[in-house]
Amino acid sequence: MFNIFEFHWRAKNRFQQVQRGILLAQNASEVEQKLLAKGYQNIHIQRNFSFPKQPKSEEITQFFTQLALLINAAIPFKQALVMQQENCTNIKLYQWLLNLNALINSGYSFSASMEKLNCYFSKQEIQLIRIGEKSGKLGLVLTNIAKARSQSEKLARKVKKVMFYPLIVLVISCLLTLGLLLFIVPQFAELYLDKAQKLPWLTAVLFYLSDTLQQQGLIWLFVLFSIVVSFLLFAKKYVNLTACQMYLLSHFPFLDRITRYSRIIFFTQNLALMLSAHIHLESALKAFLSEKMPDKVLQTQVQLSLSLLKQGYKFSEGLSSSVFSSQMVQMISIAEKSASLAEMCIHISDIYQQQLDHQIELLSQLFEPMLMLFMGGIIGTILIGLYLPIFDLGALV
């Protein structure tokens, strides 16, 4: 595999207008040749020294969207991929496109090449692309995949937005608490200890925490930082940690309903896509049994549904209302009787999308007073603990 680097360039076009951009290439001379071929002059090239990053989900969705537009515009598939590669600015994705083009040129199909490289795409998406290739509707399939991914990313952004505010308030609360324990509490400790006064238990606990932080604060800070960084790194790399995170969220008050609605939307959206592409129900369900699936609850449910299907039971009879909802199970049952399962899955997805939006909005409104109360409680407890000895002295007088 060739080493690919990022280069920033500045040049003038044939109309003497200054143009700037980013190109990925093996060296600066390759960039210069590309720019000269486009008619640029007075070329200035500078390499950007940065570590390659994994492409974001939005970049993969953009790849699907642009490839679908090019194919629907009757541009040959191989040429469309080359255009995608030329406009790519992510090194990892660029290398993936290089390998993808090499496999396709050697005789592999698009879906087989993606399956062989085995990164950035789910089993469901690869199956849909394979169906699109066989039916000659690859552009339509890619458009549907891009729409489904966009909806999932929109949902993820909403959830992150709701969680961002509590996180900021929690960080501020921790910083204020540390500031009080490190700078304010020691001054009160000197005042009270000089008088050899018996301190209330709350004040004694505050003094103990303050003394511990002053002596071992850096050690505890390093340990906490190491734990947080390790968790964030391993959670992205190992599916088990992500699955544990999903499990905790599904049992956390206020967030359990959001987790369930998200699971229903994800399941019905992907199932509707595959059923609409005339993929058999059993094959569509098998696509959810991926090792990269973070939601192990959903994976267990799909395995149970598959085993019951093979025994001759209906699909709806294998769905648990505790994993999804009784309303969804009833709607799936009705769809099976009317042979409109794909349309019903789309309908279910739309219904629970509206309910999820409402839950997220409600949660964001509830978080503000709860967090203010939480922050005020912590600071208030510290202040009360500091002034309790003064109240005791006043009572004695």
Determine the pLDDT at residue 247. 61
% of the chain residues with pLDDT over 90 = 5
- Superfamily of domain covering 57-149: Type II secretion system (T2SS), domain F (1.20.81.30)
Mean pLDDT over 129-143 rounds to 84
Residue-wise pLDDT tens digits, 317-360: 888 888 888 899 999 999 988 888 999 999 999 899 888 888 88
Query: Is the confidence at residue 159, as pLDDT, over 80?
Result: no
Residue-wise pLDDT tens digits, 46-78: 888 877 888 888 888 898 899 899 998 888 888
Query: Is the confidence at residue 393, as pLDDT, over 70?
Result: no
C-alpha distances in Å from residue 204, one per residue of 199, 383, 391:
6, 13, 15
Measure the CA–CA gap between 156 and 152, rounded to whole angstroms: 6
Determine the pLDDT at residue 348. 92
Query: Is the confidence at residue 394, as pLDDT, over 70?
Result: no
Q: Where are the alpha helices (DSSP H) in the chain?
A: 28-37, 57-72, 77-86, 91-105, 110-117, 123-135, 138-179, 185-193, 201-237, 239-250, 256-276, 281-286, 296-310, 326-338, 341-396
Q: CB atoms < 10 A from the CB of 354, how many? A: 10
8 A C-beta contact, residue 153 and residue 163: no
Q: Which residue has the higher pLDDT, 337 or 290?
A: 337
Ranking 160-164, 212-216, 219-223, 240-244 by mean pLDDT, the lowest is 240-244
CATH class of the 151-397 domain in this structure: mainly alpha
Determine the pLDDT at residue 347. 93
Alpha-carbon 296 to chain mean position: 16
Residue whose token pair is 């409600």: 362
**pTM (two decimals):** 0.71
Ranking 194-203, 224-233, 365-374 by mean pLDDT, the lowest is 194-203
Alpha-carbon 10 to chain mean position: 35
Highest mean pLDDT among 226-240, 292-306, 325-339: 325-339
Q: What is the mean pLDDT of the chain?
A: 82
Determine the pLDDT at residue 115. 86
8 A C-beta contact, residue 176 and residue 155: no
SS3 90: coil
| Concatenated DSSP letters of 95-115 | HHHHHHHHHHHTT--HHHHHH
Alpha-carbon 58 to chain mean position: 10
| Backbone φ and ψ of 286, nearest 5° | -65, -25
- Which residues sit opposite 12 in a β-bridge? 18, 41
Residue whose token pair is 């967030």: 255
8 A C-beta contact, residue 8 and residue 20: yes
Measure the CA–CA gap between 383 and 377, rounded to whole angstroms: 10
Query: Is the confidence at residue 146, as pLDDT, over 90?
Result: no
> Would you say how long the chain is, in residues?
397
Determine the pLDDT at residue 396. 43
Mention every residue, 6+ apart, whose C-beta is less than 8 A from residue 205: 385
